[in-house]
Amino acid sequence: MDDLKLGIVIAQLINFWILFFLFKHFLWEKIIKAIEGRRENLQKFDDAELKAKELLDDAVSKADLIMTEAREKASNIEIDSDALAKKWREKILATADMEAKSIIDNALGDIEKERLSMANALKAKVVDLSLKINKKLFDEEKINKEFIEKEIKSL
């Protein structure tokens, strides 16, 4: 302990206390204020982060809700379009059916007219042929014509 002199230790203690009081008097409040300011800023950042997370969660839930509603609307639109397509198909089929019936009715009418026309033509040919046969057999055209026409009408 020879090297350790009491005067130097006391001088060092005095220097320390002088520096401590200077530090406390000039810097202590500024450092405390800076530390408090940083704590407040960290708290604000933490609060802002929590608020941002809440906003993000709200936005995600709203987006999910909007997507769900959009899917429902799309499904409803699809159902409505299917129903509308069925109605149009039924209407088109009904129109086509009516047109087909009309065409068939017209064709049947034409066939009936043609059949009557052919039957009349056949009757006329039968009468002419019968008259020609009777003329050759009996030489009396007028009497036989009336008889043959009556017979053909009765058929």
pLDDT of residue 155: 62
Which backbone phi and psi does 3 adopt, to 5 degrees? -70, -25
The predicted-structure confidence for 131-152, as pLDDT tens digits, reads as follows: 777 777 766 656 666 666 777 6
Residue 111 lies in a domain: yes
Distance between CA 123 and CA 115 in Å, rounded? Answer: 12
The predicted-structure confidence for 48-94, as pLDDT tens digits, reads as follows: 999 999 999 999 999 999 999 999 999 999 999 999 999 999 999 99
Task: Quote the percentage of the chain above a pLDDT of 90.
Answer: 63
Reply yes or no on whether the pLDDT at 127 is more than 80: no
Query: Average pLDDT, whole number, for the chain?
Result: 87
Distance between CA 128 and CA 125 in Å, rounded? Answer: 5
- The count of domains in the chain is 1
Residue 1 lies in a domain: no
Which residue segment(s) compose the domain that 73 sits in? 7-154
Residue 2 lies in a domain: no
pLDDT of residue 94: 93
Question: Are the C-beta atoms of residues 123 and 152 closer than 8 Å to each other?
Answer: yes
The predicted-structure confidence for 1-51, as pLDDT tens digits, reads as follows: 556 788 888 999 999 999 999 998 988 999 999 999 999 999 999 999 999
Residue 146 lies in a domain: yes
Residue 80 lies in a domain: yes
- Token match 């509603």: residue? 69
pTM of the model: 0.43
Question: Are the C-beta atoms of residues 152 and 126 closer than 8 Å to each other?
Answer: yes
